[in-house]
Structure 1
């Protein structure tokens, strides 16, 4: 978050994202399908992160999962 950008990889597509914004679940959940709302509430999610996709590209080789945690 502090850097304001990161890279997310899902299904062999790399997304460069910017502008991370933390949103309260109370503001986000009503915008989602009812079935998904129930599942997310059951997990006890309180916050969501919204990002803007700057670029994306499909990768041919599997990408190693790397997790970063802010200290």
Structure 2
């Protein structure tokens, strides 16, 4: 359980850094922090990496019902 939490925290921190560096916008992190499933977080991270704009990323979050 502790290792799982550590991985989740790492994913969240990495995602926040990626959003800040890439888009200078971390406004959607509150809804992302509510995600419990690591696989979903990994997919969200991939969405952020592939998105060309914060709008595109937020659209993908909307499709996941997270924004």
TM-score of the pair, normalised by structure 2? 0.25
More strand by share: 1
Q: Which one scores higher on RCO, CA 8 angstroms, separation ≥ 6? A: 1
TM-score of the pair, normalised by structure 1? 0.24
More helix by share: 2
